[in-house]
A = this chain, B = another copy of it.
Amino acid sequence: MSAPVFDTPRACEDAFYGAFAACDLGAMMGVWSHDAPLLCIHPGGLPVTSREAIARSWAGIFEGGGGVRFTLTDLRVVEAADVAVRFVHENIHHGPGLRAMAVVCATNVYVCESGGWKMCSHHASPGPSAGGIAGDAVH
């Protein structure tokens, strides 16, 4: 299978959250850069910096996962020709009927390499309670 090519940071971000929601480790690791220095911090977690350790961290999350849906709000973007930073609130709908919601704040960094965009950093931390969220969905 050839590596996926993402034409924009937004396309790469869509694939990241799609893989996350689907608990698809192959798709998740297809999002991450092979060339740039990597960093992944899950909410409340410690930094993970190697590709192998990042894959293990997602595998652990996906083991207990399934049945979540993301709505992203409060997007802020800083973009240059080959680096993009996207700040989002991840509103994670989960549990029976997807009626529970957790909110996570994430700083996602993307780099353009070999003609396509890849993620090089995902820094996430616990966000405000669901009642504190304002803003329209962006994805």
A interface residue numbers (CB < 8 A to B): 36-37, 39, 41, 44, 46-47, 49, 74, 76-85, 87, 89, 105, 107, 109, 111, 120-121, 123, 125-128, 132
Contacts and interface: CB of A to CB of B under 8 A. Distances in A.
A70 to B, nearest CB: 17
Q: How many copies does the complex hold?
A: 2
Contacts of A78: 36-37, 83, 109, 111, 120-121
Given A81-B81, A83-B85, A125-B123, A76 B39 contact: yes
26 contacts: A36-B78, A41-B105, A44-B125, A46-B105, A46-B127, A46-B132, A47-B74, A47-B89, A47-B105, A47-B128, A49-B76, A78-B109, A78-B121, A80-B80, A80-B81, A80-B82, A83-B83, A83-B85, A85-B85, A85-B109, A87-B121, A107-B107, A107-B109, A107-B121, A107-B123, A123-B123
A120 B44 CA distance: 23
A49 B89 CA distance: 13
From A49, A79, A109, A127, name the one whose CB has the most chain B CB atoms within 10 angstroms.
A109
Contact of A125 (B37, B41, B89, B120): B41
